[in-house]
A and B are shown apart, each in its own frame.
Chain A
Amino acid sequence: DAGITQSPRHKVTETGTPVTLRCHQTENHRYMYWYRQDPGHGLRLIHYSYGVKDTDKGEVSDGYSVSRSKTEDFLLTLESATSSQTSVYFCATGQGAPNEKLFFGSGTQLSVL
């Protein structure tokens, strides 16, 4: 599949610490997205990017920030992690066509203790 790499794959951290998750793509896709997956909620959009330095909030953006300094990298930062941010985080990319398939990374399992 498409070259979407998320790092780390797993992370355990403590409440109050900053955490940064990385999404790297080799597809030169313009659009990039961060979702979180929780039981009973499906996937929910946190933030997305429509170009370098162009980002916007999604449905559940509180407590998260993002940055995109290069086309290929999209970073998600939890400034001060809380237990409610324990989740599986997915990055996705796409070109922007309405019915296109989004390309997803393999996810990052984040546990905040």
Chain B
Amino acid sequence: AQTVTQSQPEMSVQEAETVTLSCTYDTSESDYYLFWYKQPPSRQMILVIRQEAYKQQNATENRFSVNFQKAAKSFSLKISDSQLGDAAMYFCAYRSGGGATNKLIFGTGTLLAVQP
């Protein structure tokens, strides 16, 4: 079975600085997808960024980028120029490549605090 591990329960960053959130996963599959979701205090789940395993190029969305190391099964999220609105719980998630059902496997989350 696939597992997703987020080893940092809490992180803190100064406003305008850069922070990296770690995520590792375990799978025997070669085809899969990885996601980072953000959950602010409102509880809303917001997709931050996504990565297809077959793509070697790291995904980027504005200030958010990933470092996808397929051999190491690592999928870290880098937030540049951190803003107060980035404060949230961040979840890493895995999705098997087969089928149409998006059954996501989530990590336990990293709570990010942004200091002014």
Binding site for B on A (CB under 8 A): 1, 31, 33, 35, 40-45, 48, 50, 58-59, 88, 90, 92, 94, 96-102, 104, 106-107
> How many B residues touch the partner, as a band?
20 to 34
The answer to the question of B67 belonging to the interface, with a C-beta cut-off of 8 Å to chain A, is no
Residue pair B44, A31 in contact (C-beta under 8 Å): no
CA distance A104 to B45 in the complex (A): 6
Residue pair B106, A100 in contact (C-beta under 8 Å): no
- Smallest Cβ distance from B88 to chain A, in angstroms? 14
The answer to the question of B69 belonging to the interface, with a C-beta cut-off of 8 Å to chain A, is no
Binding site for A on B (CB under 8 A): 4, 6, 33, 42-45, 47, 50, 52, 91, 95, 97, 100-109
B residues in contact with A98, CB < 8 Å = 33, 52, 95, 97, 100, 102
B residues in contact with A90, CB < 8 Å = 45
Show 10 A/B contacts (Cβ-Cβ < 8 Å), sorted by A. Answer: A33-B102, A42-B106, A59-B105, A88-B43, A96-B100, A98-B100, A99-B52, A99-B95, A102-B104, A106-B43
Residue pair A106, B42 in contact (C-beta under 8 Å): yes
CA distance A104 to B39 in the complex (A): 11
Residue on B with the closest CB to A30?
A: B100
